[in-house]
Amino acid sequence: MGTLDFFRMLTNTLHFATWSKEEQLSLLRILDDLYRSDNDYAREEVQDFRRKLMVSNVQAEEVEELEIDKAMEILHADQTKQELLYIILAAAVFRDGKFAGEERSFLNELVQKHQLDSQKLEIRLSEQKSRHIEEILKDWNLEIQNRDFAS
């Protein structure tokens, strides 16, 4: 993780901690469903969810009890939270290194059922995909350089 990514994560974590309990619970419910949508709750996803749970005022049992429609209604009420939701969802789908078709279907259902702005979400997904590709290329380049020096 680069310095910029570390500070971005720290800022997002601190910002999330200032959300109301109801808003934190709503976001965690949506993330939990997204992470489970591909039937592969990857280690990176579990770690991200637990990190967010630790800085929240929410218990894991509460997340399971909240209906996703209610969670979306809560976050839909605040335009700023909705904008942040696009960013958080886009980052979440690449958390485990892949954007599964089931995750795409889950997002499409959220957009259709809860009148999310599909263009804004697609912009955030594109930004995250670019970051993900840059990280892969950076790691690959580093691996090549390490091999060249080892030879």
Residue 9: its pLDDT value, please?
47
Distance CA 50, CA 144 (A): 34
> CB of 74 within 8 A of CB of 32?
no
Distance CA 48, CA 14 (A): 14
Find the largest Cα–Cα distance for the chain: 59
Closest CA to 37 of 48, 47, 45, 25: 45
Q: What is the pLDDT of residues 51-90, one digit of tens each?
A: 989 888 889 999 999 999 999 999 988 888 889 999 999 9
pLDDT band of 32, cuts 50, 70, 90: very high
Q: Which tokens is 47 given?
A: 């770690």
DSSP state of 95: T
Angle at 114 between CA 18 and CA 126, to 5 degrees: 75
Percent of the chain exceeding pLDDT 90 equals 56
Angle at 15 between CA 10 and CA 18, to 5 degrees: 135
Residue 32 lies in domain: 3-150
What is the domain-level CATH number for residue 113?
1.10.3680
Distance CA 23, CA 76 (A): 10
pLDDT band of 30, cuts 50, 70, 90: very high
Phi, psi of 66 (to 5 degrees): -80, 130
Q: Which residue has the tokens 């579990």?
A: 46
> CB of 76 within 8 A of CB of 114?
yes
> How many structural domains does the chain have?
1
